[in-house]
Structure 1
Amino acid sequence: MTDSTPPQPTRVPAPAPSPGHTAGVARGWAASVHVPARPGAGRRRCRPGDDRGSATAEYAVVILAAVAFAGVLVAVMRSGEVQQILTDLVRGALVP
């Protein structure tokens, strides 16, 4: 008599639960499905005093200011008056 039990598929272990995850640990196939402990638990909420992302916004503002300053500097350096001053400065430094 042959065994008529179908072969069992290979199971993939579930990832470790995230911090704050309070739902029970699932077993078997259900372990690969993430179910939040309560509805809306996986959504990010913006709370008063929550400053996540503020450093990124500050970097963006600083970069924009630096680009604006570089644009002004390029415009000033291209003017004939400033080029003449710089040329005279370099010639005075090279010629004794």
Structure 2
Amino acid sequence: MDKPLISTGMVVCSLAGKDKGAVYVVTGSLTAPYVWVADGRKYKVEKPKKKNCRHLQVLGTSVSGMDAGSVRISNEWIRSVLKRARVESIREVTHV
């Protein structure tokens, strides 16, 4: 079972650690299994959290492949993306 490739701009959910269940946006990548994640509040763009990809579940992409270069990642943008992701997840649960 291969995990999807995690790249910058993806919305992810933490599966392990003290932040289990938290939703983040990937802001950058490190060596092999690690990425930088931020939520715009506790973990800001200036000081993101280092997270192992094995402990993350991809919820969706916030930026299409073509727009990835044109979007400037800021704390306000991250908060708006996560707010949209929460609304969509609630909508999915209520329509099932």
TM-score range, shorter chain: under 0.3
TM-score between the two structures when normalised by the length of structure 2: 0.22
- The structure whose residues are more often strand, as a share, is 2
TM-score w.r.t. the length of structure 1 is 0.22
Larger relative contact order, structure 1 or 2 (CA cutoff 8 Å, min sep 6)? 2
Larger radius of gyration: 1
